[in-house]
Amino acid sequence: MGNNHVTALEINLNAIEHNLNAFKSRLLPKTKVLAVVKAFGYGSSAVEIAKFLESKVAYFAVAYLNEGIALRKAGIKTPILVLHPQKINLEEIIKLNLEPNIYSITILKAVIDAAKSLKVQHYPIHIKFNTGLNRLGFTKKEIPEILALVKNQKEVVVASVFSHIAASEDLNERAFTLQQINTFKEISNHLIPQLPTKPFLHMLNTSGIINYAAEAQFDMVRLGIGLYGFANDEAETAKLKNAISLKSIISQINTIEKGNTVGYNRAFKANETVKTATIPIGHADGISRKFGNGIGYVYINNKKAPIVGNVCMDMIMVNVSDINCQEGDEVLIFKDQLHVEDLAKRANTISYELLTAISQRVKRVVK
Ligand SMILES: *Cc1c(COP(=O)(O)O)cnc(C)c1O
């Protein structure tokens, strides 16, 4: 798509760098940083972020093979951890020098087979343990089986051992989290002496770094949403810079007389004369229909303009009765982190979902 559409998501690389350094300053100098760039870099642009961060971080992570392919095609040479590979992906993963998360005996056997058939030796793999999230990973009981498979071959090497915290942002769950950390320590203490080479360890995501850097920093951290400017609460977020803004312009202004309606299903009915602005962004761009009927709002000339009626596929209409504005004026759909956090709260979701929902139709602009 060319540069002929006015709606754009702006990515501020200086802010990304500031945020990376803000997290690095909370860590020991020796601790490596993995930048999580899955889901198009949390909806921004994985390629642009990875190019920018390549010299600044030790690792990248993506969720799926396709995301790793995109980074390698863009010339990224840094190690890339693929967090959620499938059996059928493993040969291609190895060919592209991507490093798989190995989370089950099935996948472990499959990666050894894939390396064998490609005649590859000492290929780096990453063993994930489930310590309480109950999503993906081995359990402690599977250690003997892992060892039996890993010890009798030369095809793969355990480069790292890791786990993921279930509620790192929630200090009410501190006891549970400390238990997860303990379980991970027990597992790694048991496993590592039996491996031929010493893997590195990692456990913390963004809010883990904020809350558990003292207890579970290990050798590396996996920084995701924090890079993009989002932290656990307003005070922590204030230490970060806004890296993502979603902008558009007013296409048309309409005056709606009392008794008239706006949009599909006539969801909004004017009880008095109102002035609306039509904006070229809709649910196909990732603005959920949940934001219709006053739940969501944009900023125009520094004032809040609530969404009127239902969100359409390609448009929203907002109430600008009290805003001095004209066709062509700038509209901020995501002004900054606090705006995104507030929108997320109003729609009973989280900032992660709002950011990653912005569809590929929306142009990305790097600043
Ligand atoms: C997405 C993800 C992260 C990053 O989490 P943030 O909360 O965005 O920092 C880290 N580790 C794993 C396993 C993930 O899936």
**Among the atoms of ligand 1, which is closest to the Cα of residue 63?**
15
224 CA distance to ligand 1 centroid (A)? 5
pLDDT of residue 4: 75
Q: List Cα–Cα distances, 243 to 13, 49, 247, 340, in angstroms.
A: 7, 11, 13, 12
What is the average per-residue pLDDT within 318-345? 98
Structural element, H or E, at residue 237: helix 234-237
The residue with tokens 């059928």 is 88
In short, whether 126's Cβ falls inside 6 Å of ligand 1 is no
Residue 253 pLDDT greater than 90, yes or no: yes
229-249 pLDDT, tens per residue? Answer: 999 999 999 999 999 999 999
Query: Which residues are designated catalytic?
Result: 38, 264
In short, whether 202's Cβ falls inside 6 Å of ligand 1 is no
Residue 2 pLDDT greater than 60, yes or no: no
**Among the atoms of ligand 1, which is closest to the Cα of residue 209?**
9
In short, whether 335's Cβ falls inside 6 Å of ligand 1 is no
In short, whether 128's Cβ falls inside 6 Å of ligand 1 is no
Q: What is the CATH number of domain 13-236?
A: 3.20.20.10
The DSSP 8-state label assigned to residue 171 in this structure reads G
In short, whether 225's Cβ falls inside 6 Å of ligand 1 is yes
121-168 pLDDT, tens per residue? Answer: 999 999 999 999 999 999 999 999 999 999 989 999 999 999 999 999
pLDDT of residue 152: 85
Q: List Cα–Cα distances, 187 to 40, 203, 209, 222, in angstroms.
A: 33, 13, 21, 19
Choice between 51 and 152, residue whose per-residue pLDDT is larger: 51
215-234 pLDDT, tens per residue? Answer: 999 999 999 999 999 999 99
Residue 76: how many other CB atoms lie within 10 Å: 19
Residue 319 pLDDT greater than 60, yes or no: yes
Q: List Cα–Cα distances, 124 to 64, 130, 201, in angstroms.
A: 17, 20, 14
What is the average per-residue pLDDT within 84-100? 98
Q: Round to whole Å and give the CA distance between 219 and 203.
A: 9
Ligand 1 pocket check: which of 16, 26, 36, 184 to mutate, most ligand atoms within 8 Å of Cβ? 36
Ligand 1 pocket check: which of 83, 129, 202, 218 to mutate, most ligand atoms within 8 Å of Cβ? 83
Q: Round to whole Å and give the CA distance between 228 and 41.
A: 9
337-347 pLDDT, tens per residue? Answer: 999 999 999 99
Tokens read off for 76: 């990224």
Share of the chain above pLDDT 70, in %: 99
In short, whether 36's Cβ falls inside 6 Å of ligand 1 is yes
pLDDT of residue 1: 47
Ranges in the chain annotated CATH 3.20.20.10 = 13-236
36 CA distance to ligand 1 centroid (A)? 7
289-311 pLDDT, tens per residue? Answer: 999 999 999 999 999 999 999 99
Ranges in the chain annotated CATH 2.40.37.10 = 244-366
pLDDT of residue 5: 82
Q: What is the CATH number of domain 244-366?
A: 2.40.37.10
